[in-house]
């Protein structure tokens, strides 16, 4: 799958989020990178020999922000192109993983931890 098609799938996945969630993402950028950096992987605590990082939220979760939070650089959700296209073969599998990853990273932005996200099925 080429990057242009991948970008379209990311945009489609974002469009499927409920409107109330999309509004909250006003100061969140969604980017696509080729693959995660060593620093990004290290920050997650994942073992790169055993785990694959498909996406990452970097920023201040909504539930941790002080009441006077403002004038900050945007938070960032990054999807990693190469790990996804190497791990998932069909366009349908890639589309589904993009959607799952976006929902997972948006949940981190909203303040949920990995255990809570897993209980929700993501």
- Cα separation, 109 vs 59, in Å, equals 7
Q: Please give the chain's pLDDT, 122 residues, in tens.
A: 999 999 999 999 999 999 989 988 888 999 999 999 999 999 998 888 889 999 999 998 877 766 666 667 789 999 999 999 999 999 999 999 999 999 999 999 988 888 888 887 76
**68 found inside a domain:** no
Please state the domain count of the chain.
1
**22 found inside a domain:** yes
**7 found inside a domain:** yes
Q: What is the pLDDT of residue 63?
A: 74
Write out the residue range of the structural domain in which residue 86 sits.
Answer: 3-61+74-119
The CATH number of the domain where 80 resides is what? 3.30.2010.20
- Cα separation, 30 vs 46, in Å, equals 22
Q: What is the pLDDT of residue 53?
A: 96
Q: Indicate the pTM of the whole model.
A: 0.87
**66 found inside a domain:** no
**69 found inside a domain:** no
What does the DSSP assignment read for 40-107? HHHHHT--TTT----EEEES--GGG--TT--S-PPEEEEEEHHHHHHH--SHHHHHHHHHHHHHHHHH
């Amino acid at each position: 799958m080429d990057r242009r098609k991948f970008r379209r799938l990311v945009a489609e996945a974002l469009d499927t989020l409920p409107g109330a969630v999309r509004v909250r993402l006003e100061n969140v950028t969604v980017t696509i990178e080729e693959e995660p950096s060593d620093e990004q992987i290290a920050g997650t605590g994942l073992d790169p020999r055993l785990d694959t990082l498909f996406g990452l939220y970097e920023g201040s979760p909504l539930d941790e922000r002080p009441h006077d939070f403002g004038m900050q650089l945007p938070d960032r959700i990054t999807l990693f192109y190469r790990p996804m296209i190497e791990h998932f073969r069909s366009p349908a599998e890639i589309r589904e993983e993009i959607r799952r990853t976006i929902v997972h990273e948006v949940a981190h932005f909203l303040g949920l931890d990995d255990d809570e996200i897993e209980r929700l099925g993501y």
